[in-house]
């Protein structure tokens, strides 16, 4: 019998949404790491970018749409640069289910919805170390 995780990973739409959310979370983590290393607060970063602290908070939480241009601007402001690297999706790589669980734990913040869309009549929530699927009524 397949686990809920294995069933979801067979769904191309779920894998697409997971891939998107993982990249958004990875970008936010990279910015947060640079900020921590340089002891730059959200308010400091906002001043450097001529933006509001709320904008920075939304950007880091994934609520704001972070374009590649925005990512590059923010990272540049923190005296760094972004290098992109594309690779096969983690679910296609060896040890796929373990790798995907690691991806969920690392990149999807607690309680973040992967999508407002439904996948196969089910709402999917991913959080650190867990995946919840709720059947909609």
Q: Mean of the per-residue pLDDT values for the chain?
A: 76
Give the separation between CA 54 and CA 22, rounded to whole angstroms.
22
pLDDT at 52 over 90: yes
The tens digit of pLDDT for each residue in 74-110 reads 999 999 999 887 877 765 654 445 555 555 555 555 5
- 133 versus 35: which is more confidently predicted? 35
HEC string of the chain equals: CCCHHHHHHCCHHHHHHHHHHHHHHHHHHHHHHHHHHHCCCHHHHHHHHCCCHHHHHHHHHCCCCCCHHHHHHHHHHCCCCCCCCCCCCHHHCCCHHHHHHHHHHHHCCCCCECCCCCECCEEEEEECCEEEEEECC
Give the separation between CA 94 and CA 19, rounded to whole angstroms.
17
With a pLDDT cut of 90, the percent of the chain lying above it is 34
pLDDT at 124: 53
Task: Please identify which residue in the block is written with the tokens 């001529």.
Answer: 50
- 107 versus 131: which is more confidently predicted? 107
Q: How confident is the model at residue 12 (pLDDT cuts 50, 70, 90)?
A: confident
Task: Read off the pLDDT of each residue in 9-28 and give the average, rounded to a whole number.
Answer: 85
């Amino acid at each position: 019998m397949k686990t809920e995780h294995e069933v979801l990973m067979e769904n191309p739409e779920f894998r697409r949404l997971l891939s998107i959310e993982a990249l958004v979370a990875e970008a936010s983590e990279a910015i947060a790491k640079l900020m921590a290393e340089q002891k730059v607060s959200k308010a400091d970063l906002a001043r450097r970018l001529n933006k509001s602290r709320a904008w920075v908070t939304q950007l880091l939480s994934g609520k704001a749409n972070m374009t590649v241009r925005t990512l590059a601007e923010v990272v540049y402001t923190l005296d760094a640069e972004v290098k992109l690297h594309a690779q096969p999706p983690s679910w296609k790589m060896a040890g796929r289910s373990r790798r995907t669980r690691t991806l969920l734990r690392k990149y999807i913040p607690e309680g973040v919805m992967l999508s407002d869309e439904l996948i196969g009549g089910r709402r999917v929530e991913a959080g650190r170390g867990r995946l919840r699927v709720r059947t909609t009524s």
